[in-house]
Amino acid sequence: MQKRKINIGFDAKRYFHNKRGLGNYSRNLVNQIARQYPQHSLSLFSPSRGELYPAPRGASIISNPGWKKSRWPNAVWRSMGIGRLPYFKALDIYHGLSHELPILTSKSRPKLVVTIHDLIFLLRPQLYPFVDRQVYLQKIKHACKVADLVVAISEQTSFDLQKYLEVPTSKIKVLYQSIDEQYFESVEPSHRAAILDKFELSSNYLLYVGAIEKRKNVLKLVEIMQGLPEERLLVVGRGSGSYFKKVQKAAKKANVTIRSDIDTPALASIYQSAKMLVYPSTYEGFGLPVAEAIASGLPVITTAGGCFPEAGGPRSIYVKPKRKKILEAIRALIAQPEQANQMTAVGLEHAQKFRPGRCARLMMETYYDLIEDL
């Protein structure tokens, strides 16, 4: 049966202004919905203009009017101002794509959906200032309370929501985030060679992709490379502060290259030119680089437990994030190329569930289910 036209609003702050995971999640979902369901009306709510990324064709952009900035600073507008707009009241669905929903004073409102990516600030509190933790907690508790549906991007996040915030199981739906379609496409050898030449790299390196921070055990991985003098490690990510300086110092003692200037369009070539991905993070909401790697045909070594088996599938290698265990796993995989080939085939099959088109269709079905009289 033909679905009627519906009006969908999105909290698009991360869509326009975030280059990393939350931004990629927002852009992949919104752009796929716009592409597959052009009959629906999309509105993107962003507190400020000057976007880094374009909106999909036909979508409306609603931002904080300049003349009201003294009354509604951007952060306050996102939390309180949005719900007072006539655009908002005309919506059928409003989706907070990253942990937040506005505070509403009227009972007349659209159906509310919020995506929760992780609760790292609760599980690793030492990584966040006290005030930030309190702000995050209040925002997420409010969003989960007022939402008609809480979308968790993994079973692990769903479990954490139930355990730590007592969100009812009946209110949560697990819908995996998608990965960019580029990772499923085989890159021409000539193009891969050009990308490697641009960044002064050669192929068959061990690879890490992600932020360079303590939670992700990057320093441990770099130090492990001292025990693998015949191998090379490429670290793709950004870091800062004292931890990043330690990683840089350790990298000089091993065959390790750190690049923070490799953009998303080049990443498919970077993955497909690698020997394996090693991702020893202690906690993630999903583990996006793991999913990107298996979609790129790359064997993966990552952390046992948590969300990682959801992202990596049944044939990735899962170990405790200890130096000895990681080193043993790397050496074993290098010594068994046939196992790597088997891991690649199974990984490609598992990665199909993260295709952008599929993830958008599942989300739209969820929207339809929330709205009566469709």
Q: Are residues 347 and 360 located together in one domain of the fold?
A: no
Q: Are residues 151 and 209 located together in one domain of the fold?
A: no
Q: Is the entire prediction scored with pTM above 0.75?
A: yes
Beta strand extents in 181-250 (DSSP E only): 205-209, 233-236
- Of 132, 39, 142, nearest to 100 by C-alpha is 142
Q: Are residues 250 and 264 located together in one domain of the fold?
A: yes
Q: Are residues 167 and 90 located together in one domain of the fold?
A: yes
Q: Are residues 232 and 90 located together in one domain of the fold?
A: no
340 belongs to a structural domain: yes
Task: Provide the domain count of the chain.
Answer: 2
CATH classification at residue 216 = 3.40.50.2000
Residues 43, 65: Cα–Cα separation, whole Å: 16
Using left for φ > 0, alpha for ψ between -120 and 50, and beta otherwise, residue 187 falls in: beta
2 belongs to a structural domain: no
Residues 124, 215 contacting (CB under 8 angstroms) = yes
Residues 192, 273 contacting (CB under 8 angstroms) = yes
Provide the residue range defining the domain that includes 251: 181-354
- Tens of pLDDT, residues 44-84: 998 877 778 888 988 988 887 754 555 667 778 788 888 88
Q: Which two tokens stand for residue 52?
A: 């880094």
Task: Please work out, in degrees rounded to the nearest 5, the angle formed at the alpha carbon of residue 88 by the alpha carbons of 83 and 91.
Answer: 135
Q: Are residues 188 and 169 located together in one domain of the fold?
A: no
Q: Are residues 336 and 364 located together in one domain of the fold?
A: no
For every one of its 374 residues, what pLDDT tens digit does the chain have, with 9 covering 90 and above? 457 889 999 999 999 988 878 888 999 999 999 999 999 999 999 887 777 888 898 898 888 775 455 566 777 878 888 888 888 888 999 999 999 999 987 778 899 999 999 999 999 898 889 999 999 999 999 999 999 999 999 999 999 999 999 999 999 999 999 999 999 999 999 999 999 999 999 999 999 999 999 999 999 999 999 999 999 999 999 999 999 999 999 999 999 999 999 988 899 999 999 999 999 999 999 999 999 999 999 999 999 999 999 999 999 999 999 999 999 999 999 999 888 888 999 999 999 999 999 999 999 999 999 987 54
- Of 285, 259, 263, nearest to 207 by C-alpha is 259
1 belongs to a structural domain: no
Q: Are residues 313 and 206 located together in one domain of the fold?
A: yes
